[in-house]
Structure 1
């Protein structure tokens, strides 16, 4: 089945439904948002920005795209796609949001995994305009939106799935936009994720947090899985791309970054936790 763009968008200024009119999206109170030539919509009002150019930079987006397109995190994408499509009705569209979509890799992999399954209504949202531009250039089927998880430009109870992968979850907003029974799929780094790289760039590692995270309000726990595998990277450019696409690049000292830059090969542990929450 052909996948389509998610259309139940809300005005970021007053929450009213948005309707597409030609090359713009408008609400009944007169707010209008033009569709960019790359095909995305900018729904992050200036008063909701914390900086002039929030989110990942153009260089970070390019590094992430090169790294992900090389397939290094494909097992993560496969696990997320399988969990997203599990128990989906084959004859009903499945509305899916990737909240913090980056350049769209995981949403594209989800669409590919569902080509012989349910029809998807796809929405990718990121606060970085550079990320959304890159996503829109690669896949015109989805709705790509510059926006914030803190105030999702989505109508209430219109989504079946929300993905938050290595991102910043805003559970109250996720609960608002999910239908009753809908799933939030959250991917977080495990205690050993990229440990070998962290041991190189930091003088010492912080103790890992212990204990389970509290259950988000409005959700019940629907299961969790751990995915671990070794990842061998060769070439200074590939290692640099991984470092640039993570927060460690900015947290590490100049000496730590220099040690990473000197690497020509490294074997790392990928360790992630995939948690599923069901909306009451």
Structure 2
């Protein structure tokens, strides 16, 4: 496959370009960052951490990996990949960052949807080292499809104006940083939960649901709105383990009361609404 890991990394300490020397990324000031044996690099300095182990836990990552592997979010991955493909009609290498990549599901799906002739330069970044470890372990060490990086959306370790697209999947967008790393005409593809997303589960774990507020998203500075697409469908989950994995991989696990979590744990079958909004922003 015509896939190469993204190269234009920046030092998280001084913003200078990083160069890969053997198994170490190094900047002109001699700050160095070793590539782990699993194939990823940690570019999250201690001073950028809010806790000793930020981001999703090992259990959350494992639950998400099992759930996504079953294909219930495949329509979201397909819509996202098609949006990238519409922007990717060019001969040169197309560079894409998944900012908050988790265990790498959406980048792997994107790589498979794209034609063999389209050259891709991919990077997955997440603040959770467990997520990035999982993503790197699933990649082919002899021919990796992506660069896997532990880092923060608040200070992306990426050189300015080097990306054709940025993905933000149910994550925490930092639009100023996304604008900095995108080329003019580059696109931010943002997927957010719609008002009906997982409604049936939320009705079980919460005493009441807040009424949904329908409003157009604010246009981030430096961007223009290009398209929006609603992705809505139903799924049926069978078995307590699958339902537990879904709950574990979402923030709802920690927001729900003990009684709500117990009600969810007793479920053996659940039909759910998947409701996602794909928004395409263009860097101007």
Q: 1:187 maps to which residue?
A: 191
- Equivalent residues, number: 280
Partner deviation per Cα, 1:57-91 (whole Å, 9 max, x = no partner): 00000000000001010000000000011131341
Aligned counterpart, 1:81: 81
- The separation in 1 between residues aligned to 2:108 and 2:88, in whole angstroms, is 18
CA distance in 1, matches of 2:183, 2:46: 29
Question: 2-side partners of 1:9 and 1:89: how far apart?
Answer: 25
Deviations 1:82-129 (A, max 9, x none): 001113134111100000000000000000111435111000000000
Deviations 1:25-55 (A, max 9, x none): 0000110000000000000000000000000
C-alpha RMSD over aligned residues? 0.8
CA contact (8 A) 2:2 2:116 kept: no
Alignment correspondent of 1:266: 270
Question: Where do 5+ consecutive residues of structure 1 fail to align?
Answer: none
Q: What is the match of residue 11 of structure 2?
A: 11
Matching residue of 1:253? 257
The reply on whether 1:134 has 2:134 as its aligned counterpart is: yes
Deviation at 1:211, TM superposition (A): 1.5
* Residue 206 (structure 1) shift: 1.1
Structure 2 unaligned spans of 5+: none
- Pairwise CA distance, 1:141: 2.3
Task: State the TM-score, normalized to the length of structure 2.
Answer: 0.97
What's 2:242 paired with? 238
Instruction: Measure how far apart 1:135 and its partner are.
Output: 0.2
TM-score scaled by structure 1?
0.99
Matched, 1:211 2:212: no
Greater Cα shift, 231-240 or 139-148: 139-148
Contact 1:90 1:117 in 2 (8 A): no
Provide the rounded CA distance (Å) in 2 between the counterparts of 1:238 and 1:82: 28
Do the aligned partners of 2:168 and 2:191 also contact (CA within 8 Å) in 1?
yes
1:147 to 148, 151, 161: 151
Match of 1:279 in 2: 283
